[in-house]
Amino acid sequence: MAIRTWYEVVASNLAGETRSGGDNSFSYYYTGGYPYGIGGAPFRAVPPSPCAVELAQQEAGRIAAKTEAERQQQSREHEEEKAKKSAARYAAEAAALEQREQEETAAEAKVRVIPTCTVPSLKQDTLRRVRQALSKAHCRLGKVSRPKGRHGQLVVTQQRVSAGEKLPGDTRVGVALGRALR
């Protein structure tokens, strides 16, 4: 609400002469403040119309909405960036954990597993065949007892560990050689 006030300035001197400044006016716009608007805020032009005030308020609302939307967009972008960084960190940690597990698995695989030695029957076999049979059974040839003197072809007449017995891998099996029975 615009309030317009008219005034006329009349001045006189000691001689009684009067001078008039003519009809003048000033306006101020009532904004609802104390008591009749904002004091000391005169308008030197025509005060804004209610329509112009409404348009200014709408523009201010649009600017405020745009500012709020930009703030929310920046907030979303910040949260997305934090989420990407967290995901990248978790992926790196998962990759490191997986690599460590693979290294541990590889280390466990390097541990040599020695199969059990199931002692075969060696009686009446030559020394060459005994070595082959023991190697297949994951055993090794132990002490070999031979008869004194020369006797032609020798075969196993006794074995120190009985056939079918299960022992740790690479266990030595001793044998005694003698003349082959014909």
Please give the radius of gyration of the chain, using alpha carbons only, rounded to the nearest integer.
57
| pLDDT tens, the chain, 182 aa long | 555 555 566 666 666 666 666 655 555 555 554 445 444 445 455 566 778 778 888 888 899 999 999 999 999 999 999 999 999 999 999 999 999 998 888 877 776 677 888 899 998 888 899 999 999 998 999 998 888 876 678 888 889 988 889 888 888 999 988 887 66
41 with 63, same domain: the answer is no
What CATH number has the domain bearing residue 167?
3.30.10.20
Using alpha carbons, select from 178, 176, 179, 170 the residue that is nearest to residue 144: 176
- Count the domains in the chain: 3
User: In Å, what is the CA distance from 15 to each residue of 12, 18, 19, 157?
Assistant: 8, 9, 12, 166
- Specify if 3 maps to a domain: yes
User: Where does a domain end: 79, 95, 111?
Assistant: 111
The DSSP code for 32 is S
User: In Å, what is the CA distance from 58 to each residue of 52, 55, 67, 141?
Assistant: 10, 5, 14, 103
100 with 123, same domain: the answer is no
User: In Å, what is the CA distance from 68 to each residue of 35, 63, 141?
Assistant: 34, 9, 88
100 with 148, same domain: the answer is no
122 with 93, same domain: the answer is no
Number of residues that make up the chain: 182
Domain coverage including residue 133: 117-179
105 with 130, same domain: the answer is no
At 149, list the tokens: 């003197």
